[in-house]
Amino acid sequence: MSEKIDYIDTYYSRTLGAVATYPELVGNCEADVCVIGGGLAGLNTALGLVERGLKPVLLEARRIGWGASGRNGGFVLRGFDAGDIDIPGRVPPDQKFRIMKGCLDAQDLIRQRSMTYSIPCDIVSGSLAVTWGTDTKELEDDVRYANDTFDMGLEFWSRQRVQEHCRTPRYYAGVFSKWDFHFHPLRYTHGIAAAASSQGARIYEQSAALKIKKDGADWCVQTAGGQVKAKHVVVCTSVYGSGFDRKLDFSVFPVQTYVMVTKPVDRHDLDSTINTPYCVYDLRFACDYYRVLPDRRILWGGRVGLHAEPKDISALMLADMFKVYPQLKGRVEADISWAGRQAYTPYRMPVIGQRKPGYWYNTAFGGHGMVPTTLGGELIARAIAGHDGGYRDFDRYGLLFTGGPFGRYVAQAVYSYWCACDYMRYEGPFARRPSP
Ligand SMILES: Cc1cc2nc3c(=O)[nH]c(=O)nc-3n(C[C@H](O)[C@H](O)[C@H](O)COP(=O)(O)OP(=O)(O)OC[C@H]3O[C@@H](n4cnc5c(N)ncnc54)[C@H](O)[C@@H]3O)c2cc1C
C-alpha cells in the first residue's frame, strides 16, 4: 500500500483540532454519483447531492481539504477570480445577473451551513478592498454599478475612512462589504465533509481516482484499492493532474500563491497599523491580502508564481508587508509560511458543466474559490438531482486548450505583463506618490 499523505504544515493544520479521518477505498462499490476531489468543489457537490436525497461516493487522493481549500487566505468574497463585481466577456445581462446573484446566494449558504452544521470556523464579517490608485472616481462608479445591478450593498470609503482601519498612506480609497467575511477554511472544509458524511455520503481519503471508463450506461472510476460504479461522475480535481482526463489536464494551468502567518503581534502595534477586524485586499492584479487572526497574528498573502516555490516565502511576504506598513519593521516575526496551487483557465472563470452525458466538471476556481465552489456544487447537484439547467449559464466558459505543460509559460508572460502594468501605475517613475 502506498504511503499516506497528510496535511502540509500550515497555521490551519496546526489549529484544526480533532476531526474525522476517512477510510481508503478497498473493493468495489456502487453509488448514484462518484465525486472526485475532496476540496470544497467536490465536498459542496457531495453535500448538495445528499441534501437532495442522493447517495454519492467521494474520492480524495490525500486528505479532505489537503489542496487549496484547506490552506487559502480564508476570504469569503462575492464574485469570481475574474471579477468581484462583474464577469468578463459579452454575457447577456440576464445571464450575468443570474451568475452574480448565484454567487451572493452561495455566500449566504456558507454562513447558513456553518450555523446549521455547527462548524467552528471563526467567521468574522466584513471585507475592505483598497486601491493603490489615485483615480477613486472609477471605484465610486464601480460601487454604484454593483449596487444598482446586483444589489451588492457595497460602501465606497474615502481615503480618510480607510486610514482609520489601515494606518498607511498607501491606499487612496476603499470598498467595504458587510456581507463578505473571513474564516478558518480547513475547519469549514471538514465541517462540510462531516455534514455530507452524516447524511449518507461515503467519503474515502488516500484514494486517488486513476482511471475512468464507460461501463454500459455507467461510469467506472478505478483507484489503487477498488472501483466505484456510478451513473454520474463529477471531476473536482483542480490542478493536481488527474491523469485520467487529458482534455482537462491540457486546459487548466497551475498557479502558485503564498501565505505567511506571523507570531502574535503586540496589541499596540496592531492598533497603529492593521486596526480592523475586516479582511483587507488591494485591487492590483498581483495583490496583497491580509487579516488579523483570533490570536493576534497577522495572516499575509500574495504574489503568484508559475514555477518552483521561492526559497524564503516568509521573507517575501514580510517585504510586501513592510512596503505597506513600514512601522511593523522589527516589530513582527514570521512564524510559518506555505504555498498552494490553484487552477486557472484563460477566462479566469470556473469550468462548471457536463462534458459527456453523466460526466461533469466543477473545477478551475483560480484564486477566488470559497464562494464559487459553493455555487458550482449547488448547480451540479441541482442538475443531477433535479435536471435543473442553471449550470448552462457557464457553458461559455468551457475548456479551452492552453498548451498543457507549455500553457504556464504563456501564463507567466501574461502575469509578468500585468505586474509591469501594476508597477508603472502605482510605483514606477510616473506614478503619483502617496503622501502621508
Ligand atoms: C494560498 C492560496 C490562497 C487562497 N486564498 C483564497 C481566499 O482567501 N479566498 C478564496 O475565495 N479563494 C482563495 N484561494 C483559492 C481557493 O482556495 C480555491 O479556488 C479553491 O479552494 C479550489 O477548490 P477545489 O476544490 O477546486 O480545489 P482543491 O481545494 O485544491 O481540491 C482539489 C482536491 O482534489 C484532490 N485530487 C486531485 N486529483 C485527484 C484524484 N485523481 N483523485 C482523487 N482526488 C484528487 C486533491 O488532493 C485536492 O484535495 C486561495 C488559494 C491558494 C492556493
Domains annotated on the chain, with CATH = 1-121+183-252+346-397 (3.50.50.60), 124-182+253-344+409-428 (3.30.9.10)
The β-bridge relationship of strands 298-305 and 288-292 is antiparallel
pLDDT band, very low/low/confident/very high, at 432 (cuts 50, 70, 90): low
Write the residue with the smallest CA distance to atom 35 of ligand 1.
Answer: 37
pLDDT of residue 242: 65
pLDDT of residue 433: 58
Ligand 1 pocket, residue 368 CB under 6 Å: yes
What are the tens digits of pLDDT across the range 171-226? 999 999 999 999 999 999 999 999 999 999 999 999 999 999 999 999 999 999 99
CA nearest to 130, candidates 372, 374, 434? 434
pLDDT of residue 405: 65
pLDDT band, very low/low/confident/very high, at 430 (cuts 50, 70, 90): low
pLDDT of residue 50: 98
Ligand 1 pocket, residue 201 CB under 6 Å: no
Does the structure show a pLDDT above 80 at 407?
A: no
DSSP single-letter state for residue 326: G
User: Which three-class secondary structure state does DSSP give residue 193?
Assistant: helix
- Report how far ligand 1's centroid is from the alpha carbon of 69 (Å): 4
- Report how far ligand 1's centroid is from the alpha carbon of 379 (Å): 18
- CA distance linking residue 349 with residue 108, whole number of Å: 21
pTM: 0.96
Does the structure show a pLDDT above 90 at 304?
A: no
- Report how far ligand 1's centroid is from the alpha carbon of 65 (Å): 7
- CA distance linking residue 398 with residue 19, whole number of Å: 36
Task: Using only the alpha carbons of the chain, give its radius of gyration.
Answer: 21
Residue type, 15: T
- Report how far ligand 1's centroid is from the alpha carbon of 366 (Å): 9
Residue type, 42: G
- CA distance linking residue 29 with residue 224, whole number of Å: 14
Whether 13 and 66 have beta carbons less than 8 Å apart is answered as no
User: Which three-class secondary structure state does DSSP give residue 160?
Assistant: helix
Ligand 1 pocket, residue 172 CB under 6 Å: no
> Does 407 or 221 have the greater pLDDT score?
221
What are the tens digits of pLDDT across the range 48-70? 999 999 999 999 999 999 999 99
pLDDT band, very low/low/confident/very high, at 101 (cuts 50, 70, 90): very high
